[in-house]
Amino acid sequence: MTATIIDGKKVSSELKAALAQEVQQLTEAGVRPGLAVILVGEDPASQVYVRNKEKTCIDLGMHSEVHRLPADTPQADLIALIEKLNASDAIHGILVQKPLPGQIDEKAVIGAIAVEKDVDGFHPISIGNLLIGDEGFVPCTPAGVIELLRAYDIPLEGKRAAIIGRSNIVGKPMAALLIRENATVTVCHSRTANLPEVTREADIVIAAIGRPNMVTAEYIKPGAVVIDVGINRLPSGKLAGDVDFESAKEVASAITPVPGGVGPMTIALLMKNTVESARKALASRQ
């Protein structure tokens, strides 16, 4: 079988092109979508992520603010900055880049973000809204997976989906989103017994583990769709997903590569959430 390679670069570019138009319309109507990113400390990977977010904002015509704080910033100062951004009319989305230094309680920081500006979708109220089926921001990576599946017309209703990984940022919200799409969902994790047997039952396998090339052909039912969320840096410096792409593509009907699959969707969805927040800000003014 020749698997369709799901092209996240292409889908994310199309999404960003549509967003750029919307940004222009909103700006003309008096609300230019604005994203504030806060980086505490100098983690090299975080610096790259923050620069990418800033660049994407600018490419789309959005207002971008990056607040770089020293690694020893007290929690109270960080929260005071968030409160200032919560009150700012120029800012529609606030993102605090993780990981945070040890003196800062991540939960307290996320909880300080105004829910209507929580474009990362990590605030407990946003997660609760997702679970009970109310409107709200959805974490960008799992939302990006749904957009990719939609872009390729992959049916979800009545299908069996297996997610490997139960993190708060990927696995759990992914499960909630697939339930919302009427899939039948199994969430697997490090204690799941007979994992390949479980995932072989699934029409869609989503890997969010953080272990390079773990999911081989043996985990996949012939014809299943395979989505690889993993981003792992190998000792050689090369990037690898959680899926062994070469063996999995021989049995899958469609599969995402790493890089170029889910990765580019995450940032596009962050922009989409920010634009949506700006749209709501405009509507509340009118």
By CB under 6 A, name the binding residues for ligand NAD: 141, 164-167, 169-171, 188-190, 192, 195, 208-211, 229-232, 262-263, 266
Write down the least CB distance from residue 3 to ligand NAD, Å. 19
DSSP, collapsed to helix, strand or coil, labels residue 22 as helix
**Chain centre to alpha carbon of residue 277:** 16
Nearer to ligand NAD, 83 or 201 (CB): 201
Q: Nearest residue by C-beta to ligand NAD? A: 167
Could you tell me the smallest distance in angstroms from the CB atom of residue 158 to ligand NAD?
25
Q: Which residue, 87 or 102, is less far from ligand NAD as judged by CB?
A: 102
Report, in Å, the least distance between residue 211 CB and ligand NAD: 6
203 catalytically annotated: no
Closer residue to ligand NAD in complex, CB, 145/281: 145
- CA-to-CA separations, 219 to 11, 35, 58, 199, in angstroms, rounded: 27, 40, 41, 6
CA distance 143 to 139: 6
Is 53 catalytic? The answer is yes
The least CB distance from residue 261 to ligand NAD, in Å, is 8
Q: Say how far apart CA 25 and CA 278 lie, in whole Å.
A: 11
208/3 Cα distance (integer angstroms): 20
How near is the Cβ of 79 to ligand NAD at its closest, in Å? 24
- Which residue is catalytic, options 16, 117, 118, 120? 120
The 3-class secondary structure across 248-284, one letter per residue, is HCCCCCEECCCCCCCHHHHHHHHHHHHHHHHHHHHHH
The catalytically annotated residue of 16, 53, 117, 249 is 53
120: annotated active-site residue: yes
To 10 degrees, what angle do helices 44-59 and 263-285 make? Answer: 50
Q: Is the bond preceding residue 99 a cis peptide, omega within 30 degrees?
A: yes
* Closer Cβ to ligand NAD, 2 or 107, answer by number: 107
> Which of 225, 229, 239, 234 is closest to 261 using CA atoms?
229
Cα–Cα distance measured from residue 74 to residue 218, given in angstroms and rounded to the nearest whole number: 49
CB-wise, 180 or 211, nearer to ligand NAD?
Answer: 211
Active site residues: 53, 97, 120
